Chains A and B, each alone.
Chain A
Amino acid sequence: MKWLVYVVLNVVLVLSARAELTIEITQGVDNPTDIAVVPFAWQGPGSSPEDIAAVIDGDLARSGQFAPVGRADMLGRPTTGAEVFYRDWRALDTEYLLIGRVSVAGQMRIEYELFDVLRQTSVYSGVETGPVNEARMLGHRVADAVYEKLTGIRGAFATRLLYVSVTRVRGGNDYSRLTLADSDGARPIVLLESREPVLAPAWSPDGQEIAYVSFETSRPAIFRQNLATGQREQLTNFKGLNGAPSWSPDGNTMAMVLSKDGNPDIYLMDLASKRLTRITRHYAIDTEPAWMPDGKSLLFTSDRGGRPQIYRYNLRSATTERVTFEGTYNARARVAQDGRNVVIVHQRDGRFHIALLDLVTNRLQILTSTELDESPSIAPNGSMVLYATKYADRGILAAVSVDGDVKFRLPAREGDVREPAWSPYMSR
């Protein structure tokens, strides 16, 4: 009859097993994730034209979400899954490990694999191929894939930046250069060089075209330019101010500031017919239009209340409402793709900072601590904000994460650098 006792015990155990302890975890520390990017194996003649692993390493480090392991600390340099010894990486407290191989057969081909060191499994593997002279872009794409896998947010490393650099010329007109570069500031290409000012570069939503203001015709005019073909079109040539072009999310309309009818107001231009619609009509200055991602409304800066503040114009109802109330200076809004986070220039204690405005909670958070920060531009995945600031009496570009925790300066080049514009996601 002993078995009966066991049966009873079993029933009791089954019963008691149901009341299992559940511990709730409602907080975290959010330190950067440790990842090791092992130098990729080069499987071609000579040496690799580009250190792909270094490109990826740099991308992940700049995001602030990752803390890459230094190469000198690596106990091994595996390039295939069979060569991975997890204990080597566990010893370094590394959470993830990225390895890869690069080969060239006409095109460059990068094979890579991402491992979870703690669980000792492969998380993801992939292949990127492309022209050899696009090696860095291929590296950025690998970084994008790793970033998305581990953060749940699409990576924005394989994107481009536009900015204006001005070289001072003693006793003459300055040189203005409109420059295109990788998201890390590498590979700058000058798109336009002028002895007259170039301003306000902006991207088309597909990333294929740009718009900007150039004074080359001796008065400000808005141009649009195709990046692949170099083809240019002058969109406006009005008396007075022609500025601040902003492409609508569907690519069909451009918002701009014109003063042809008196003082600066916001207009919409239908890009096919070039027909203009005036959407603000106020004796104050209305400027710096920025589309909401749904294309149904625009944010703009106006001093109609006495001081510059952000307002929102609803296209359907043709109504305007004030958006910012904190402080006496809020200007130049740029909206993240989530339609919730807005980056602006905010003045506090006489200093100009980049701030993040949450349109849902209306909370304003200052992101930067330098004092002459301007022209914020947000990454297409909403994770980083690029802006112009002053460093050692020069205009430079800097970036800050949307939580304000990570800041870095982009490599400084000659001249004053200003007005950065972060591209949308680039189609391949």
Chain B
Amino acid sequence: MNTSIYAKPVAPRIVYRPILATLVLHGLMLYFLTVNWTDTGGEVTRVKPVPRVINARLVDVSEFKPKPKPKPAAKPKAKAKPRPVAKAKPKSKPKPVAKVKPVAKPKTAVKPKPKAEPRISEQELAAIARADLSHAMAQEEQVQATATADEMAASFAALIQQTVVNYWNRPPSARNGMEALLAIQLIPTGEVVSVTVLKSSGNTAFDRSAINAVEKAGSFPELQNLPSREFEKTFRRFRLLFRPEDLRY
């Protein structure tokens, strides 16, 4: 959107404006290149794809029953929250989440919505229908679109996670809480083209076991089913944090 604004006033008489814009943009770029392009370990959004099952349970139909007058505009937002979309955002550590194997169908999260509506009185329903329905639907559609994209990303992340888990042979010197952060690069066929250590655990055997888990997995061909926009956005390059929690100590 920004681009069109700048593209339009190509008026040749005002020369200083584009120059100013250029200066600002260059300054911005320089700033981002020097400051943010460096590895800011703490800023990483950590996605644990697993909690989708729990999310589905959170949206309980009974929760909506006692509420007497739900505001139609506010409702979809509140419902949208517990979805995985929201899960990806919080920067706080998603530690206490129980280790549950990801389940393929995330659709259950969507269901409770229509069920919640009939609880509202009929007059209100009609009012909503007349006044706000189209707006609500548009909003809902948008939420749903981003949700499915993110859900898809989450399920592919879960797939990568499970595959790597199945190939990870920890050395006996591995201890709970050790951390090795790897940068992974894929090509659209799902093939791993590069594995590099961003942050070593300090134990070379542990680091090697992590790298080899990815190398042994070799490729994630299922990613070919991902729209290329999503692939580029999320899986062209991503990170794997190896941090065992299930060892004896």
Contact = CB atoms under 8 A, between A and B. Distances in A.
Instruction: Identify the 7 closest CB pairs spanning chains A and B, nearest first.
Output: A152-B173, A152-B205, A28-B168, A118-B215, A21-B238, A22-B239, A26-B245
A121 to B, nearest CB: 11
Given A1-B10, A152-B206, 7 more contacts: A1-B6, A4-B21, A5-B3, A17-B37, A22-B241, A152-B174, A358-B248
A23 B157 contact: yes
B118 to A, nearest CB: 39
A27 B244 contact: yes
Nearest to B234: A21
A21 B239 contact: yes
Interface string A84-122: 000000000001000000000000000000001011000
B25 A11 contact: yes
A20 interface: yes
A95 B237 contact: no
Interface in B45-97: 45-49
Interface string A1-30: 100110111110011111111111111111
20 contacts: A1-B10, A4-B7, A7-B25, A8-B2, A15-B32, A19-B45, A23-B238, A23-B240, A25-B168, A25-B240, A26-B99, A29-B169, A33-B169, A95-B212, A95-B216, A123-B208, A149-B205, A150-B171, A150-B208, A152-B203
Interface in B29-43: 29, 32-33, 36-37, 40, 43
Given A19-B45, A22-B44, A32 B244 contact: no
B165 interface: yes
Interface in B147-165: 153, 157, 160-161, 164-165
A33 B170 CA distance: 9
A23 B173 contact: no
A17 B43 CA distance: 12
- Among A7, A27, A149, the one with the most B-chain Cβ atoms within 10 Å of its Cβ is A27
B45 A153 contact: no
B241 A25 contact: yes
B213 interface: yes
A140 to B, nearest CB: 18
A65 interface: yes
Given A11-B32, A30-B169, A149-B205, A20 B44 contact: yes
Interface residues of A, number: 44
Identify which of B45, B171, B203, B233 gathers the most chain A CB atoms within 10 Å of its CB: B171
A18 B3 contact: no
Interface residues of B, number: 68
Nearest to A401: B172
A314 interface: no
Contact of B172 (A7, A16, A21, A152): A152
Given A10-B29, A25-B213, A65 B235 contact: no
Nearest to A10: B29
B74 to A, nearest CB: 28
Contacts of A24: 46, 48, 161, 240-241, 243
A151 B213 CA distance: 15
Contacts of B243: 24-26
Contact of B171 (A7, A31, A153): A153
A387 to B, nearest CB: 20
A208 interface: no
B238 A1 contact: no
A26 B241 CA distance: 8
B169 A21 contact: no
B244 A26 contact: yes
A144 to B, nearest CB: 14
B204 interface: yes
Given A11-B25, A20-B238, A119 B211 contact: yes
Contacts of B171: 65, 150-153
Contacts of B211: 119
B122 interface: no
B249 A361 contact: yes
Nearest to B165: A27
A9 to B, nearest CB: 7
Query: Which of A9, A152, A403 has the most chain B CB atoms inside 10 A of its CB?
Result: A152
Contact of A28 (B7, B213, B241): B213
